[in-house]
Amino acid sequence: MNEMVRGFLDARLNADVSRRRFIQGAAGLASLSVLGAATGASAAETPKLGGQLNFLGWDGEHGGNVAKPFLEKNGIQLQASFQSAADEALTRFNTGGRGAMDLLTPNKDFQRAILASNVELFQPLDLARIPTAEGLFPAFKGAPWLVRDGKTYGIPIIWGDEPCVFNPTKWDKMPARYTDFADPKYKGQLVLLDDPFGNIWLYAVSLGMKEPSRLTAAELEQVIEAMLKMKPNVVTIGASHGDMADVLIRGDASIGIGGWAYQTLIAKEKGVKLVVGSPEVDGTFFWSDAYAIAADAPNLDNAYAFIDFMTSAQSNAALAKELGSGCTVEAAYDLLDPGLRDLYPYDNVRKPGGGILGTQIVVPPQEADGDVVGAPAWVEAWQTFKAS
């Protein structure tokens, strides 16, 4: 029984800091021996490739077609599994996946939160083993969400924003503000994404709140009130971007809020025209996914070689094209079709420090901070919105 409790503890208490704090609190369960000490990366001088490489991340970022020649040439067998929520990697890591996981593809805000909270999941990267990372846009080199204590924990793969995706035969353009979607003319037209943070953040911006990721309880309530005014117009809440695209393509709704430009590509393949466009005044927010290596990864050489291959200009451009997203490598930009180049504001990623991606924080703090409520309060507020 105690073993089980301890297992659960570990599942959530992996960080050294929190472990220490826990031990102070509960002397009875003092010896947590399940975890092995983190073994440092013993970089072999001539890395031997081949064998297995485990991937847990977003579908598509395992590079299905793009990575094929690389994997075949080096005799690497890629075992890919896909996540449907950002923190599934952490859950699996802590429920027995540790030591059997190599490559992860965290998104910007999740990685920022993990690094900030000192929870163990990623290992610092040896940039000397990823020479192609030199070619990243300035914004992605040492971007604030990837770095802790001067060490880099991720190599960005793609980036983009979450615009409205709509059917141009029904609408010419989106209203100026998200709050305008409460207009009854949108009845039966809207589909949302099941994401507490993106939606609440957008409405906080729309209501003119200064720090949309740091809301007080009263502000959060105000946001939910504003969202509830739009709710009668919502048809359904999509489980994922793909699911949302499916609703739009079938014609069951005509506007997706918090969408993905990739959805227009899926639609095109299926003979339906969808376009992107965000409320002019409120705009939208940006995201980026990065390759990261799990702590205690068993196939380190393969993982480094894979990241290095995928960060080359050709691979990066091919992946950006396949996923309808922004490329992260400067030389890849020249390889993109003009249509794809225009999808995203690239001037942002040419600035060092992450540009807008670096300054814009969409996810609230993990715990309440003075008046500012933490992430669980946002989740609960979102549930209230979904349920009412």
Partner 1 sequence: MLSLFVLSFWRAKGFELIPDFTLANYEKAVVSKLYRTLLVRTVLVGFVTAAIVVPIAFALSYAMRFVFERRGQLILQLVLLSLFSGYLVRIYAWRTILGKQGLLNSTLQWLGLINEPLEFLIYSNIAVVITLSGLLLPLAVLPIYSALLNVSRDQMEAARDLGAGRVHLIRTILLPLAMPGVRTAFAFAFLLAAGDFVTPTLVGGTQSLLIGNIIADQFRGIGSNWPLGAALAFVTIAIVLVIYLAVVQILARVTR
Partner 2 sequence: MTGKRRSQWIAGLFVLAVLTYLYAPIIVIVLFSFTTSPRLSMPIEGLTFDWYRSALDNPLILSALTNSLVLALISAVAAGIMGAAFSFGLMRLKRPHVREALIGASLLPAIVPLLVIGISLAVFFRVLGMPQGLINTAIGHLIVCLPFVVLTMNARLETFDFSMLEAARDLGATPVRTFLDITFPLIRPSVVGAALLAAALSLDEFVITWFNIGNQQSVPVLVWGMMRRGVDPSINAIATLLLTLLVGLVICSNLLGRKKRS
Binding site for partner 1 (CB under 8 A): 1, 4-5, 7-9, 11-13, 15, 18, 21-22, 25-26, 29, 85-88, 90-91, 109-110, 113-114, 117, 119, 188, 194, 196-197, 231, 234-237, 239, 243, 246, 250-252, 363-364, 366-367, 374-380, 383-384, 386-388
Which of these, 382, 385, 165, 384, lies nearest to 253 by C-alpha position? 165
The residues, any chain, with a CB within 8 Å of residue 42's CB and separated by 6 or more, are none
In the complex with partner 1, the residue whose CB is nearer, 223 or 300, is 223
The answer to whether 345 contacts partner 2 (rule: CB under 8 A) is: no
8 near partner 2, rule: CB under 8 A: yes
Q: Which of residues 32-71 bind partner 2 (CB under 8 A)?
A: 34, 52, 54-56, 58-60, 64
97 makes contact with partner 2 (CB under 8 A): yes
Helix (H, G, I), strand (E, B) or coil at 345: coil
For residue 201, the minimal CB distance to partner 1 (Å) is 13
Torsion of CA 115, 116, 119, 120, to 10 degrees: 20
For residue 351, give every residue at least 6 positions away whose Cβ sits within 8 Å of its Cβ, in sequence order, or none. Answer: 138, 139
Contact 297, 124 (CB under 8 A): no
Identify the CA nearest to 204 among candidates 361, 383, 376: 361
The least distance separating partner 2 from the CB of residue 7, rounded to whole angstroms, comes to 4
Q: Are 139 and 354 in contact (CB under 8 A)?
A: yes
**Tokens 């993905």 found at:** 260
The binder of partner 2 chosen from 106, 241, 256, 340 (CB under 8 A): 241
d(CA 84, CA 63): 17
Q: Which is nearer to partner 1, 75 or 374 (CB)?
A: 374
Instruction: Give the list of residues 6+ apart from residue 214 with CB closer than 8 angstroms, or none.
Output: 364, 365, 369, 372
Draw the binding track, 305-344, toward partner 2 (x: CB under 8 A; -: no contact): ------------------x---------------------
Residue 242: which of partner 2, partner 1, none does it interact with, CB under 5 to 8 A by kind?
Answer: partner 2
Contacted entry of partner 2, partner 1, none for residue 81, CB cut-off 5 to 8 Å set by kind: partner 2
